């Protein structure tokens, strides 16, 4: 196992270019910057495991804005803030002046007087979530430059229409733990596949986050989906480019079995087709309830044509040695448990249930590492000081 001094040395060897930056898309960050976040997350995880306090903020807020439902990401953001000593405030837009026409610029500044970070989940409207996060970031930058804010809050993407960076980074941390190191991921085959779900409208950002991140660490990524279930074309293009630049590979197939064949990792996850999400956004904005119901009916009927896209025991036997790591961002649609037929067979999910919980458990450390590297020019100095101080977290 890598020691504390080794981890600290590795962090110290990487650039401090994350300082005072936002975290919106993983592909906006260099490979070294992503490595640094992973290493800081691992140090924070070990310090907590060793009962060493990592509280480094005497005051300050982490404000969350959730425009969609969330369990894991919501509590991961709250946990990360608490781990570092920040208070948490959730902005309920229905109870704010936004309902009375308050602008994004005004709201962003009014919630930021003592705020260190703003975490945003906005994945419902295709073409809107990422744009909204950029608006908030620009507004707080202006407020800071004008002297309205004493500090410029960092903006963290807790899932947008394009990417789910804290999720894919937690996925990456799970892979590092499973295969032993980042270098151990090179040449490993990861199957990111569509899977059947009895619901519609699931965001594109999870599969896009996976294919946009894993080829950058030398993985052989295969994206599989039925005809018509494509992702945002620009993200798919980026995945191919990242594979070429970093010694990985990327291809798109239309067979779940082909994707599973010889895979070291499988990630079966439902999503709505790109063109459906475009149409859904138009109808949502227009308030067309009837149109939305008709679109849902059509999409569920289309999904039902592909019930064979399920992660079953038979398909798992196609993987390398029949022992690929199963991954999911949760909650999974489990056949015979949460639905009659879904993404994954109950026996497969139960066998990997604890690993998927561990996968989710890395997210608070990733978010805390994003916070620490964005706020401190030299985070390794703080981490070394926390370790030397050794103040017990409990007792």
* One domain, residues 273 and 345: yes
pLDDT in tens, 342-382: 999 999 999 999 999 999 999 999 999 999 999 999 999 99
Q: Is residue 394 part of a domain?
A: no
Note the pLDDT of residue 78: 98
pLDDT in tens, 251-265: 999 999 999 999 999
pTM for this entry: 0.96
* One domain, residues 356 and 311: yes
SS3 87: strand
* One domain, residues 100 and 209: no
CATH of the domain at 99: 3.40.50.1370
In sequence order, the β-bridge partners of residue 89 are: 63
**pLDDT top residue among 224 and 281:** 224
Domain holding 251, by residue range, is: 168-360
In sequence order, the β-bridge partners of residue 157 are: 120
Note the pLDDT of residue 395: 82
Note the pLDDT of residue 102: 85
Tell me how many domains the chain contains.
2
* One domain, residues 258 and 282: yes
Mean pLDDT of 151-165: 98
pLDDT at 217 over 80: yes
pLDDT in tens, 304-346: 999 999 999 999 999 999 999 999 999 999 999 999 999 999 9
Q: CA 120 to CA 128: how far, in whole Å?
A: 12
* One domain, residues 298 and 226: yes
* One domain, residues 347 and 313: yes
* One domain, residues 38 and 139: yes
* One domain, residues 338 and 248: yes
Which residue, among 22, 51, 190, 203, has the nearest Cα to 120 in the 3D structure? 22
Which residue, among 199, 223, 204, 210, has the nearest Cα to 165 in the 3D structure? 210
How buried is 209 (Cβ within 10 angstroms: 0-12 exposed, 13-18 middle, 19+ buried)?
A: buried
* One domain, residues 237 and 133: no
- Here the tokens at position 156 are 């963290």
Q: CA 114 to CA 87: how far, in whole Å?
A: 10
Q: CA 171 to CA 177: how far, in whole Å?
A: 10
pLDDT at 100 over 70: no
Sequential DSSP letters for 253-319? ES-HHHHHTT-SEEEE-----HHHHHHHHHHHHHT-HHHHHHHHHHHHHHHHTTTT--B-HHHHTTS
* One domain, residues 223 and 345: yes
């Amino acid at each position: 196992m890598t020691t504390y001094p080794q981890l600290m040395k590795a962090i110290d060897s990487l650039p401090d270019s994350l300082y005072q930056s936002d975290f919106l898309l993983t592909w906006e960050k260099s490979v070294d910057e992503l490595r640094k976040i992973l290493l800081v997350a691992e140090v924070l995880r070990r310090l907590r495991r060793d009962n060493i306090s990592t509280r480094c903020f005497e005051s300050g807020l982490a404000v969350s804005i959730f425009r969609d439902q969330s369990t894991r990401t919501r509590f991961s953001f709250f946990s990360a803030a608490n781990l570092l000593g920040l208070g948490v405030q959730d902005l309920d837009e229905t109870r704010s002046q936004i309902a009375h026409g308050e602008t994004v610029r005004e709201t962003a500044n009014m919630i930021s007087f003592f705020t260190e970070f703003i975490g945003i989940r906005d994945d419902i409207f295709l073409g809107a979530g990422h744009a909204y996060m950029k608006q908030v970031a620009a507004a707080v930058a202006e407020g800071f430059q004008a002297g309205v804010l004493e500090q410029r809050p960092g903006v963290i993407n807790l899932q947008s229409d394009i990417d789910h960076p804290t999720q894919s980074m937690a996925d990456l941390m799970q892979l590092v733990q499973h295969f032993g190191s980042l270098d151990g991921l090179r040449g490993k085959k990861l199957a990111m596949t569509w899977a059947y779900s009895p619901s519609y409208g699931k965001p594109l950002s999870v599969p896009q986050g996976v294919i946009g991140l894993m080829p950058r660490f030398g993985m052989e990524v295969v994206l599989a989906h039925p005809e018509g279930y494509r992702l945002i074309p620009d993200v798919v293009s980026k995945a191919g480019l990242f594979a070429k630049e970093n010694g990985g590979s990327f291809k798109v197939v239309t067979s779940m079995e082909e994707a599973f064949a010889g895979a070291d990792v499988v990630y079966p996850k439902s999503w709505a087709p790109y063109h459906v999400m475009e149409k859904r956004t138009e109808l949502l904005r227009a308030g067309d309830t009837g149109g939305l119901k008709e679109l849902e009916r059509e999409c569920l009927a289309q999904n039902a044509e592909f019930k064979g896209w399920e992660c079953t025991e038979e398909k798992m036997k196609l993987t390398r040695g029949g022992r690929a790591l199963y991954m999911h961002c949760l909650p999974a649609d489990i056949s015979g448990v949460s639905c009659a037929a879904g993404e994954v067979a109950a026996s497969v999910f139960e066998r990997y249930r604890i690993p998927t919980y561990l996968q989710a458990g890395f997210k608070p450390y990733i978010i805390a590492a994003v916070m620490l590297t964005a706020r401190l020019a030299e985070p390794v100095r703080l981490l070394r000081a926390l370790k030397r101080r050794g103040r017990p977290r409990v007792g």
